[in-house]
Amino acid sequence: MAKIVLKVSGMKCGGCENLVQDAVKSCAGVLSVIASHKAGTVEIDYDQTQTDLASVKKAITEKGFTVD
């Protein structure tokens, strides 16, 4: 298991956090996601043998947010 904290801009409220969390949770191997619009971060616990971080980032950008 691994952990990464992504800097994500564009989240403005709890609804945005939920959008991002749902998008990331739908990716293979993701165990937990905590998004914070205040901090502008998305903390992800994942299984590095199953998770492709490029597709995690893509899932976030597809919802209209920017991964820095």
* Residue labelled with tokens 């990331």: 24
Q: Given the complex with Cu ion, which of 10 and 29 has the nearer CB atom?
A: 10
Phi, psi at 43, each rounded to 5°: -100, 125
Nearer to Cu ion, 6 or 17 (CB): 17
CB of 13: closest distance to Cu ion in angstroms?
A: 3
Find the shortest distance in angstroms from Cβ 23 to Cu ion: 13
Residues contributing to the site for Cu ion (CB under 5 A)? 12-13, 15-16
The values of phi and psi at residue 59, to 5°, are -60, -35
**Residues 6+ away with beta carbon under 8 Å from 17:** 11, 35, 36, 37
Nearer to Cu ion, 20 or 44 (CB): 20
